[in-house]
Amino acid sequence: MLKIYPDKTKKKRAKQFLLNDPENPPQIAANTRTIPGIITQRGCTYAGCRGVVIGPMHDVLHITHGPIGCSFYSWQTRRNLARPTPGQINYLQYSMTTDMMEDEIIFGGEKKLAAAIREAYRIFKPKAIAVYATCPVGLIGDDIHTVCRLAKEELGINIFGFSCEGYKGVSQSAGHHIANNGVFKHMVGLDDTPDDAEFRINMLGEYNIGGDAWEIDSLLRKCGIHVTATLSGDISYEQVTRCHTVDLNIVQCHRSINYMADMMEKKFGIPWFKVNFIGAETTAKSLRKIAKYFDSKKLTDRVEEVIAQEMAVLRPIRDDVRSRCQGKTAALFVGGSRAHHYQDLFRDMGMKTIAAGYEFAHRDDYEGRAVLPTIKIDADSRNIEEISVEADPRRFRARKTPEQNAALEAGGFTYKDYEGMMKEMSKNTLVIDDISHHEIEKLIEIYKPDVIGSGIKEKFIIEKLGVPCKQLHSYDYGGPYAAFTGAANFYKEIDRMVNTKVWKLVTAPWKGDPTVPARPVLK
């Protein structure tokens, strides 16, 4: 796969390619700059901040400070769905920008930004406005934070900025970090009103793509567990301001939101652990873990009852697709968590993931936190302002005492049992970080997986080579795939994709005649 690269590139890429050993995960060079010339699938820091983490908050008014393109490409392409209750406001269908032109690039864009904030306030009267800096803003040095502070004083609403210039990190990952810091600093902890419920949690790292968060929310509700806030899927400003009042944070996409989980633990004493609602077996495991944490017989019994009910419906569907899918293979190259999480769904179906990799995850997402020494693992965080977090006297319900925690852990419970992708993949499967277009083509030629899960940039290359591609970012307009109901949707779709004969009928046009006839030159 690396043969065509020049020696220097080959040497660097080789550090991001390995054969897995689950017992002792080898070290991978993740979260490093993509080598120029390689066609990567990665996105930028602005995408990670505005697009991913904070963009889904539906009644915060998001203003992109920059030329029109950045705003246009973050306009509803991610399928982070919102269904505000009647009377609630939803700005997600809008895409607001300062539309910077040459004049602003030369003379500065601060005045235009201040005017845009005033105009947006006059029209929409939002509770909060978030401003996002794009590459040119950082290059010319506009001080968006001062503009936001002055506007906040003038208009009396919450206004804050994110220095998430696209070039800042090596991928969208830096944008997650910047967004987490900003949301924590400017929103979390503003309203101390807790929800009136027995088991209160936040679902962190779930973005409601194709309605996933709704599936998870309704499953948890069936069990008697109350979700105060899902960060950041179908969430309001007001929910974010109160999310420090919960008893527990559960984290699904660790890559994008581990910073928030850590900061909330440090400041408000809220414990957290990882869950995964992608896959039926792992959904059941996650529910049991939450029940164990709360240590309530009532909750444990209810969780077992719900799992039994859901599995009774799901089992015949799973067994039916298994009869056709057992033994088939998948490859997964997605973002910073799905290339790991979706392996559980394929496992449910009897399918094996033979190759996987993230676009931008860090070493801990591959190798597991436990195997990493306590070194600074976020290579890109050098550009990011570290915010100091101190313990806050506000505690909304007694957290577990050290004695209770010791008893929990003696019973086999672990908070930080986060293992990463490699420990859960079989021996000698391929792990490839930041895969390129060329490498995907070679992977298909050599390994011929029955299905590939990836993104929109690779999808059509894969399908032209005769392999079905499930788009695992925005789900090809499908989904939800989370929890038990979502799993059934996924099984059925993948069954259709890997068992149809249509892919065998595809011959890539260049296979017949690799030359493209030149068009006659018009005189």
Active site residue ranges: 44, 47, 78, 176
Residue 358, classed as helix, strand or coil, is coil
Residue 509, classed as helix, strand or coil, is helix
Q: Does 78 bind ligand HCA (CB under 6 A)?
A: yes
Min CB(487)–ligand CFM separation in Å? 17
Distance CA 276, CA 5 (A): 37
Min CB(52)–ligand HCA separation in Å? 6
Min CB(77)–ligand HCA separation in Å? 6
Contact pick of 56, 136, 211, 336 for ligand CFM (by CB under 6 A): 336
Min CB(278)–ligand HCA separation in Å? 15
Crossing angle for the helix pair 437-447 and 456-464, to the nearest 10 degrees: 40
Residue 226, classed as helix, strand or coil, is strand
Q: Does 51 bind ligand HCA (CB under 6 A)?
A: yes
Residue with the CB atom nearest ligand CFM in the bound state: 335
Judged by beta carbon distances under 5 to 8 A according to partner kind, the member of ligand CFM, ligand HCA, none in contact with residue 256 is ligand CFM
CB of 166 or CB of 449, closer to ligand HCA:
166
Residue 337, classed as helix, strand or coil, is coil
Type of residue found at 497: M
Q: Does 255 bind ligand CFM (CB under 6 A)?
A: yes
The pair of structure tokens assigned to 266 is 């440090």
CB of 335 or CB of 449, closer to ligand CFM:
335
Choose the stretch contacting ligand CFM; rule: CB under 6 A; options: 315-323, 332-340, 429-437, 493-501: 332-340
Q: What is the CA radius of gyration of the chain?
A: 24
Distance CA 329, CA 352 (A): 5
Distance CA 185, CA 207 (A): 20
- φ and ψ of 407, to 5 deg: -65, -40
Choose the stretch contacting ligand CFM; rule: CB under 6 A; options: 30-38, 113-121, 249-257, 322-330: 249-257
Min CB(41)–ligand HCA separation in Å? 6
Judged by beta carbon distances under 5 to 8 A according to partner kind, the member of ligand HCA, ligand CFM, none in contact with residue 425 is none
CA-closest candidate to residue 131, choices 192, 189, 205, 61: 61
Q: Does 209 bind ligand CFM (CB under 6 A)?
A: yes
Q: Does 474 bind ligand HCA (CB under 6 A)?
A: yes
Contact pick of 31, 172, 232, 276 for ligand CFM (by CB under 6 A): 172
CB of 294 or CB of 360, closer to ligand CFM:
360
CA-closest candidate to residue 454, choices 329, 278, 338, 334: 334
Min CB(8)–ligand CFM separation in Å? 28
Residues whose CB falls within 8 Å of the CB of residue 468, separated by 6 or more in sequence, listed in order: 450, 451, 452, 462, 497, 498, 500, 503
The pair of structure tokens assigned to 407 is 């008893």
CB of 5 or CB of 46, closer to ligand HCA:
46
Contact 63, 164 (CB under 8 A): no
17-19/430-432 β-pairing: antiparallel
Footprint on this chain of ligand HCA (rule: CB under 6 A): 41, 43, 47, 51, 77-78, 172, 335, 455-457, 473-474
Footprint on this chain of ligand CFM (rule: CB under 6 A): 48, 52, 78, 172, 207, 209, 253, 255-256, 334-338, 473
